[in-house]
A and B are shown apart, each in its own frame.
Chain A
Amino acid sequence: MTSQPSPRPETSGTPTSAAAGTRLDPWLDAYADRTHGMRASEIRALFAVANRPEVVSLAGGMPFLDGLPLDSLAQVAAQVVAQRGLQALQYGSGQGDETLREQILEVMALEGISAHPDDVVVTTGSQQALDLVTRVFINPGDVVVAEAPSYVGALGVFRAYQADVVHVPIDEHGLIPAALEETLTSLAAAGRQTKFLYTVPNFHNPAGVSVSLERRPQIVEIARRHGVLVLEDNPYGLLGFDRDPWPALRSYDEDGVIYLGSFSKTFAPGYRVGWAVAPHAVREKLVLASESAILCPSNASQIAISSYLSTCDWRSQVKSYRELYRERRDAMVGALAEHLPEASWTVPDGGFYTWVRLPEGLDAKDMLPRAVTARVAYVPGTAFYFDGTGRDHMRLSFCYPTPERIREGVRRLASVVSAERELVEMFGTGTTDEPADDVVAPAPDVL
């Protein structure tokens, strides 16, 4: 049924019932303003088929875990319960397990970060750290500056705290310093307070690019000069294919950068362990905010990860992930070159994603149902812009499917693009400037 809104017409006779209608939720008027954007959407519903084996999903961001040494991990888990069970199953410190915090320093040292265990706050995935930082800094209407495009999960947090996100363009070398300078200057001139710059400097989600070595100190300096904090989100930094990790932004300015790290991509997301490293006063607030949200991160998860780091060769595991994802990246860009030469895409040198620009006039959001019918899924670009623009782009993930499946997925995608092009040319429609009103991405368990 389709609605044709109109004034209620007079029907013959007298209504038999003047009873009030129902909106099926007695608490509608009780929700906070920030809740109104949390809605089921048509696009999200389309992702429901992505986990079916018939569908090649290039949509989700689930890491490929099949290479994990499960037997060793089982022994670690058994030892955790047998030897430290009373601690693992008990409440723990709000800031996180001290031993793990020391080990996190070793991980971060690979990216040039030097810190004290007291500077680290362990969180339930770095997603919770994002939430805590936003909670601590953002009043409704405050500005967050973020890359265009930007990580959809961060945009969701910013939206929930009623921030206003202003995007800054990027190119193949990441965030453009001149554009950042211009944006911060014009925001200040307009009397708007920018609370922080949110950036994913390594193997960006969704764009796949990294901020160049040359630009890193420039970006930190621009932010410092404008009195704007930097929120550096770095889940993929160790997953470079052809190079060692580059220095974190945090390594250039300990007082002006909050760094977020995670074990979800380099080890396993199921433990839900991430962390934040923040200037000491900020860190105190993050700990208090975290305690009010969750009391403490999971002791069992932290101790399991701590045991893994101390007893398993985690560096080799990261290396094997890098090789595995490089093979998949090669399959992805090779298939794109073969089947979709009319599109353009980034060639990531690490991480999980490539960012594809569709041929002129195509709309990735409108095209998704056709793709699902053709048994291939992706995330439309609209998910990665706060204002719902980005219809001409799509994010393709190469982290989970095998190289063969990636090639098959791109082949299917090419036929979808071809059919959609014919349709768009036939009707003379192009990409609309109209922002998407349902800015969504797949649920975390979508492949």
Chain B
Amino acid sequence: MTSSSAPAPSALTPLVPGSSAAPRVALLAGGLSHERDVSIRSGRRVAEALRSAGVEVSLHDVDADLVPALTELAPDLVWPLLHGASGEDGSVRDVVQLLGLRLLGTGPRASRVAWSKPIAKTVVSRAGIVTPEFVTLPQSLFRELGAGRVLDAIVGRLGLPVVVKPSRGGSALGVSVVRSADELPRAMVECFAYGGTALIERAVDGVEVAVSVVDLGDGPVALPPIEIVTDGPYDYDARYNPGRVEYFAPARLAPETRAAVEDVAITAHRALGLARLSRADLIIDEDGVVHFLEVNVTPGMTETSLLPQAAEAAGHNLGALYRALVEASLAAEPTGLAGVGAL
């Protein structure tokens, strides 16, 4: 399994050999999820970068105008930059394919799997990746069995601290680190405000890294891991306000540790059937064991996001890299639904 960093793409290759037409890409950003704001910012950044690289870009919200707009435009490629809900659960991707259009990135089926944190954790663990012990419980179960008893059982099994998070969703919304049992009920309430199912996992202390993976046509390769050092939780505030987080790009890791985290990210990308780009969030514990937390099929692309930082650390020009992703997608055989072998 390769874990080398992606080389910077060389001179821009034309869309179709012998053709000089600029590729026409429709970016989808916004939507109705809790992460609408982040998605809009991602969309604007990618649009700007692609335009600078000579790509013809249109930017679309996900609303009643989308289907007619895509039908009329008939873009060469649709790139969903939607975070959360229909953007990452595969449903918008399904519609894009229904319209006979080509997608940049992971297809609907694999998106659906990766979007569910517990299912993604199960899939990658079958591929030999370590992931913190966890339990996934719907709100209804607490009602049926009695919340106190279930919480006691959780603490009895997983110990403390634990991390409580919505089973689906991003940007750390609804996520709490619980260090004492009396904090757990409130963490559950905050989590269930974002969704009906909670994932509670054993907290792992260690070095946090994010590894972005890109596939420019020759298979997935890892961009330099980014190390995230915070003076508190890596929550929404820390992610989108420069200052509270210190990023190290590349992460300050020994070569074998770096190789290990890159390997985990690529293995997860493959095991989940992801395509073109992804980002795995990982923790390296005190013994050097790499733990998989979650994967993102639509990594954030804002000015403070991790994939653009990793790309720049690798020496990529963002516009050129994004155009290379576009061209690799167009050069590939249309795949229809991406497979998820592990399921």
B245 within 8 A of A: yes
B218 within 8 A of A: no
- Report yes or no: B230 in contact with A3, Cβ–Cβ below 8 A: yes
How many whole Å from B190's CB to the nearest CB in chain A?
6
- Report yes or no: B286 in contact with A3, Cβ–Cβ below 8 A: no
- Report yes or no: B231 in contact with A370, Cβ–Cβ below 8 A: no
How many angstroms between the C-alpha atoms of A15 and B252 in the bound complex?
Answer: 5
How many angstroms between the C-alpha atoms of A6 and B230 in the bound complex?
Answer: 10
How many angstroms between the C-alpha atoms of A42 and B169 in the bound complex?
Answer: 14
- Report yes or no: A42 in contact with B249, Cβ–Cβ below 8 A: no
CB within 8 Å of A: which B240-273 residues: 240-258
How many angstroms between the C-alpha atoms of A18 and B173 in the bound complex?
Answer: 32
Contact of B242 (CB < 8 Å), options: A24, A53, A366: A24
What residue of chain B has the Cβ atom nearest to residue A420's Cβ?
Answer: B193
Total interface residues on A, CB under 8 Å, equals 56
Contact of B286 (CB < 8 Å), options: A5, A9, A23, A53: A9
Contact code string B63-83 (vs A, CB < 8 Å = 1, else 0): 100000000000000000000
- Report yes or no: A12 in contact with B36, Cβ–Cβ below 8 A: no
B232 within 8 A of A: yes
- Tell me which residues across on chain A come within 8 A of B234, comparing CB atoms: 1-3
What residue of chain A has the Cβ atom nearest to residue B250's Cβ?
Answer: A17
How many angstroms between the C-alpha atoms of A432 and B192 in the bound complex?
Answer: 17
Contact code string B33-60 (vs A, CB < 8 Å = 1, else 0): 1111110100000000000000000000
How many angstroms between the C-alpha atoms of A296 and B164 in the bound complex?
Answer: 53
How many whole Å from A13's CB to the nearest CB in chain B?
3
CB within 8 Å of B: which A1-44 residues: 1-6, 8-19, 21-25, 28, 39-42, 44
Contact code string B217-233 (vs A, CB < 8 Å = 1, else 0): 00000000001111111
How many angstroms between the C-alpha atoms of A11 and B147 in the bound complex?
Answer: 39
Q: Which of A13, A44, A45, A54 has the most CB of B within 10 A?
A: A45
- Report yes or no: A369 in contact with B257, Cβ–Cβ below 8 A: no
Given contacts A15-B254, A16-B252, A16-B258, whether A23 and B243 have CB atoms under 8 Å apart is yes
How many angstroms between the C-alpha atoms of A423 and B188 in the bound complex?
Answer: 9
- Report yes or no: A426 in contact with B288, Cβ–Cβ below 8 A: no
How many whole Å from A321's CB to the nearest CB in chain B?
30
Contact code string A386-405 (vs B, CB < 8 Å = 1, else 0): 00000000000000000000
How many angstroms between the C-alpha atoms of A367 and B63 in the bound complex?
Answer: 25
How many angstroms between the C-alpha atoms of A3 and B232 in the bound complex?
Answer: 7
Total interface residues on B, CB under 8 Å, equals 80
- Report yes or no: B205 in contact with A18, Cβ–Cβ below 8 A: no
- Tell me which residues across on chain B come within 8 A of A8, comparing CB atoms: 207, 229
- Report yes or no: B288 in contact with A423, Cβ–Cβ below 8 A: no
- Report yes or no: B228 in contact with A12, Cβ–Cβ below 8 A: no
B32 within 8 A of A: yes
- Report yes or no: B253 in contact with A11, Cβ–Cβ below 8 A: yes
- Report yes or no: B177 in contact with A4, Cβ–Cβ below 8 A: yes
CB within 8 Å of A: which B196-237 residues: 203-208, 210, 227-237
- Tell me which residues across on chain B come within 8 A of A11, comparing CB atoms: 207, 253-254, 257, 284, 288
- Tell me which residues across on chain A come within 8 A of B249, comparing CB atoms: 21-22
How many angstroms between the C-alpha atoms of A26 and B303 in the bound complex?
Answer: 14
- Tell me which residues across on chain A come within 8 A of B258, comparing CB atoms: 16
How many angstroms between the C-alpha atoms of A426 and B148 in the bound complex?
Answer: 8
- Report yes or no: A4 in contact with B34, Cβ–Cβ below 8 A: no
How many whole Å from A341's CB to the nearest CB in chain B?
23
- Report yes or no: A423 in contact with B189, Cβ–Cβ below 8 A: yes
- Tell me which residues across on chain B come within 8 A of A181, comparing CB atoms: none
How many whole Å from B223's CB to the nearest CB in chain A?
15
How many angstroms between the C-alpha atoms of A132 and B40 in the bound complex?
Answer: 34
- Tell me which residues across on chain B come within 8 A of A413, comparing CB atoms: none
- Report yes or no: B63 in contact with A1, Cβ–Cβ below 8 A: no
How many angstroms between the C-alpha atoms of A6 and B244 in the bound complex?
Answer: 15
How many angstroms between the C-alpha atoms of A424 and B190 in the bound complex?
Answer: 10
How many angstroms between the C-alpha atoms of A21 and B36 in the bound complex?
Answer: 29
A142 within 8 A of B: no
How many angstroms between the C-alpha atoms of A117 and B219 in the bound complex?
Answer: 74
Given contacts A1-B228, A1-B234, A45-B38, whether A9 and B186 have CB atoms under 8 Å apart is no
- Report yes or no: B248 in contact with A14, Cβ–Cβ below 8 A: no
A438 within 8 A of B: yes
B165 within 8 A of A: yes
- Report yes or no: A2 in contact with B255, Cβ–Cβ below 8 A: no
How many angstroms between the C-alpha atoms of A49 and B143 in the bound complex?
Answer: 30
Contact of B304 (CB < 8 Å), options: A5, A17, A24, A48: A24
Given contacts A4-B163, A16-B255, whether A366 and B193 have CB atoms under 8 Å apart is yes
How many whole Å from B5's CB to the nearest CB in chain A?
12
How many whole Å from B222's CB to the nearest CB in chain A?
14
Q: Which of A1, A14, A28 has the most CB of B within 10 A?
A: A1
Contact of B190 (CB < 8 Å), options: A28, A41, A366: A366
Given contacts A22-B247, A424-B189, whether A9 and B206 have CB atoms under 8 Å apart is yes
How many angstroms between the C-alpha atoms of A253 and B143 in the bound complex?
Answer: 60
CB within 8 Å of B: which A241-278 residues: none
CB within 8 Å of B: which A119-154 residues: none
- Report yes or no: B250 in contact with A1, Cβ–Cβ below 8 A: no
- Report yes or no: A428 in contact with B185, Cβ–Cβ below 8 A: yes
A52 within 8 A of B: yes
- Tell me which residues across on chain A come within 8 A of B105, comparing CB atoms: none
What residue of chain A has the Cβ atom nearest to residue B257's Cβ?
Answer: A11
How many angstroms between the C-alpha atoms of A437 and B233 in the bound complex?
Answer: 14
How many angstroms between the C-alpha atoms of A366 and B143 in the bound complex?
Answer: 20
- Tell me which residues across on chain A come within 8 A of B190, comparing CB atoms: 366
What residue of chain B has the Cβ atom nearest to residue A18's Cβ?
Answer: B252
- Tell me which residues across on chain A come within 8 A of B33, comparing CB atoms: 49
- Report yes or no: A1 in contact with B236, Cβ–Cβ below 8 A: no
- Report yes or no: A28 in contact with B63, Cβ–Cβ below 8 A: no
How many angstroms between the C-alpha atoms of A22 and B283 in the bound complex?
Answer: 20
Pairs A–B under 8 Å by Cβ, sample size 19: A1-B281, A4-B206, A9-B205, A9-B207, A9-B284, A9-B285, A18-B252, A19-B248, A25-B242, A39-B241, A42-B237, A49-B36, A366-B189, A367-B193, A369-B34, A369-B173, A369-B194, A426-B142, A429-B185
Additional A-B contacts beyond A3-B208, A370-B193 (14; CB < 8 A) = A1-B228, A2-B233, A2-B293, A9-B205, A21-B227, A24-B243, A25-B243, A39-B241, A45-B240, A52-B32, A423-B139, A423-B189, A427-B185, A437-B237
The 5 closest A-B pairs by CB, nearest first: A13-B254, A1-B281, A25-B242, A3-B234, A48-B37
